[in-house]
């Protein structure tokens, strides 16, 4: 400070600041000599103090504004003051909007994304697949074996091997538990999902898990996930339709599984054929039955009609017959003979032999009935 007057210009502002109270005395004593230097100094001081003032205001403003932060619409936040959450219970949660905090070491803010849905995939039970293969759906080559820890799979209740994977979506329902109780809740949920797949596979047989009862398998995975999430109080909600499970037989046995499906289909086709045959047979039988019944009704009707007509005729003929039976008989006989003889194809009359003996006739009957019979009278 003593050398201040000697080198007024070379002094940097901070040094001037400390020397500031002295200039009034110096000004009186050394007015003549140091006039120019003092002038410069006081000017420098004035400008410095202005800068400092502006800086101070700016700093205070910056301090206040640096404490403003926003909580985004899909988040909640917790303010930690000296490491401790501010507020009690649900009051700890800051809603979306503008909030204020003290600068860092005192206050800190943890933002928790509660609004969005988070997705976890379990591929521990799935075959190793490169992203390109997964995109194109290409499957690995059969190798005759699976390597534990490399090719993921699960063991089914009947001791078979199947691939199983799952996707699960969840939302954070209890942000305080989710954030303050679990260093990596995502990781834990992943383990829970892997475990649920192993658990579900262990109690289903391969056919059920793969085809027949896939839905029930999925439900088992789901309820296991619920149970574990509840038990460990992870603070998340898994929606029922947000657990999706996919199962596949290993590539080594895929063909065998396809054969089964084919055989099942063929069996179904055979049964369907039989069913359509059965429908046809029943319909035909009903048709035939109605023909039989119709015929019976027709012939019974005609029988009744015929008999009635005959009876009627008889009743009419009876008085005439009774009047002269012999004549009546002859007349009817003659009518009949006339009709019969008109219809007959061959008529042979054998007169009485002169010697009074009987004629001997030989008939040669040919087989086909449609050809008229041939009689050869053979005079002895």
**Which residues, 284 to 303, sit near another protein by CB under 8 A?**
284-286, 288-290, 292-293, 295-297, 299-301, 303
Among 95, 133, 277, 327, binds another protein (CB under 8 A): 277
Binders of another protein among residues 17 to 46 (CB under 8 A) are 17-18, 20-21
Binders of another protein among residues 132 to 151 (CB under 8 A) are 144-149
Which range touches another protein (CB under 8 A), out of 28-36, 61-69, 112-120, 266-274?
266-274
Which range touches another protein (CB under 8 A), out of 1-9, 129-137, 164-172, 269-277?
269-277
Nearer to another protein, 100 or 286 (CB): 286
**Burial category of 98 from C-beta neighbours within 10 Å (exposed 0-12, middle 13-18, buried 19 and up):** exposed
Collapse the DSSP code of 242 into the 3-class scheme (helix H, G, I; strand E, B; otherwise coil) and give the result.
strand
The DSSP H or E segment spanning 4 is: none
Query: Cα separation of 265 and 257, whole Å?
Result: 12
Query: Cα separation of 80 and 172, whole Å?
Result: 20
267: contact with another protein by CB under 8 A = yes
250: contact with another protein by CB under 8 A = yes
The DSSP H or E segment spanning 283 is: helix 251-323
Q: For residues 250 and 161, is the Cβ–Cβ distance under 8 A?
A: yes
Among 15, 90, 215, 308, binds another protein (CB under 8 A): 308
C-alpha count within 13 angstroms, C-beta hemisphere, residue 26: 21
Binders of another protein among residues 78 to 97 (CB under 8 A) are 80, 82-85
Which range touches another protein (CB under 8 A), out of 22-30, 35-43, 131-139, 250-258?
250-258
- Taken in order 284, 286, 291, 296, the sign of the CA dihedral is positive
Binders of another protein among residues 338 to 377 (CB under 8 A) are 339-341, 343-354, 361, 369, 372-373, 375, 377
| Total site size for another protein, rule CB under 8 A | 136
Among 215, 268, 327, 378, binds another protein (CB under 8 A): 268
Sequence-ordered list of residues with C-beta below 8 angstroms from that of 59, at least 6 positions apart, any chain? none
Collapse the DSSP code of 345 into the 3-class scheme (helix H, G, I; strand E, B; otherwise coil) and give the result.
coil
Q: Read off the tokens for 91.
A: 């009051």
Q: For residues 70 and 97, is the Cβ–Cβ distance under 8 A?
A: yes
Q: How far is the CB of 267 from another protein (least distance, A)?
A: 3
Among 26, 102, 109, 198, binds another protein (CB under 8 A): 198
């Amino acid at each position: 400070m003593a050398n201040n007057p000697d080198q007024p210009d070379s002094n940097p502002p901070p040094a001037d600041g400390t020397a500031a109270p002295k200039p009034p005395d110096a000004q009186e004593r050394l007015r003549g000599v140091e006039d120019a230097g003092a002038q410069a100094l006081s000017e420098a001081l004035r400008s410095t103090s202005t800068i400092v003032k502006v800086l101070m205001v700016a700093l205070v403003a910056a301090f206040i504004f640096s404490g403003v932060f926003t909580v985004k619409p899909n988040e909640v936040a917790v303010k930690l003051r000296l490491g401790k959450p501010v507020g009690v219970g649900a009051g700890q949660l800051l809603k979306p909007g503008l909030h204020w905090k003290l600068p860092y070491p005192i206050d800190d803010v943890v933002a928790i994304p509660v609004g969005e849905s988070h997705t976890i995939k379990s591929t521990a039970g799935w075959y190793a697949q490169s992203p390109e293969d997964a995109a194109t759906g290409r499957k690995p080559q059969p190798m005759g074996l699976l390597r534990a820890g490399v090719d993921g799979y699960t063991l089914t209740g009947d001791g078979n091997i199947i691939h199983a994977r799952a996707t699960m979506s969840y939302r954070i329902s209890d942000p305080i538990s989710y954030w303050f109780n679990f260093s990596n809740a995502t990781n834990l949920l992943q383990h829970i999902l892997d475990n649920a797949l192993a658990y579900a596979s262990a109690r289903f047989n391969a056919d059920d898990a793969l085809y027949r009862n896939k839905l029930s398998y999925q439900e088992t995975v789901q309820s296991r996930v619920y149970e574990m999430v509840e038990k460990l109080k992870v603070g998340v909600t898994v929606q029922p339709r947000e657990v999706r499970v996919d199962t596949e037989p290993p590539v080594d046995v895929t063909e065998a599984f396809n054969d089964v499906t084919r055989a099942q289909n063929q069996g179904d086709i055979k049964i369907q054929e039989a069913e359509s045959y059965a429908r046809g047979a029943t319909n035909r039988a009903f048709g035939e039955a109605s023909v039989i019944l119709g015929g019976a009704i027709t012939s019974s009707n005609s029988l009744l009609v015929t008999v009635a007509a005959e009876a009627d005729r008889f009743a009419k003929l009876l008085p005439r017959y009774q009047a002269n039976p012999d004549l009546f008989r002859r007349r009817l006989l003659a009518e009949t003979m006339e009709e019969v003889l008109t219809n007959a194809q061959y008529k042979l009359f054998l007169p009485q032999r002169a010697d009074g003996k009987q004629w001997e006739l030989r008939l040669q009957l040919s087989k086909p009935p449609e050809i008229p019979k041939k009689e050869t009278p053979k005079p002895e």
